């Protein structure tokens, strides 16, 4: 049980680290948008509510920072977050 709690905390902290990196230099995310948005889509289906909130928040920050550049990469993220609306 302790391992699961620690893993959840690490995932939340990784999103927080990505937020800091985005503030420092948004252009560094462009080459890896596919991988980043796939990670966000998976985070959006996480059982931890805090992870879902962090993923949605970072996804929004990413869209604001990169605009149309990130647009077509976000479909999976949006799909995973929309699934949460049924709950």
3-class secondary structure, 66: helix
Q: Which two tokens mark 43?
A: 């985070």
Q: 1 falls in which pLDDT band (50, 70, 90)?
A: low
Q: 85 falls in which pLDDT band (50, 70, 90)?
A: confident
Residue 73 has pLDDT above 90, yes or no: yes
pLDDT for the residue 10? 87
Tell me the residue range of the domain where 6 lies. Answer: 2-86
DSSP state of 25: -
Q: 83 falls in which pLDDT band (50, 70, 90)?
A: confident
How many domains are contained in the chain? 1
75 vs 59: CA distance, rounded Å: 11
């Amino acid at each position: 049980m302790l391992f699961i709690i620690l893993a959840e905390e690490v995932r939340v902290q990784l999103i927080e680290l990505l937020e800091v990196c985005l503030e420092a230099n948004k252009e560094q995310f462009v080459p890896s948008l596919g991988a980043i948005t796939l990670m966000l889509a998976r985070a959006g289906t996480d059982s931890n509510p805090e992870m879902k909130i962090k993923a949605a928040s970072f996804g929004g920050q990413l869209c604001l920072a990169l605009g149309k550049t990130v647009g077509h990469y976000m479909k999976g993220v949006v799909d995973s977050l929309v699934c949460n609306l049924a709950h």
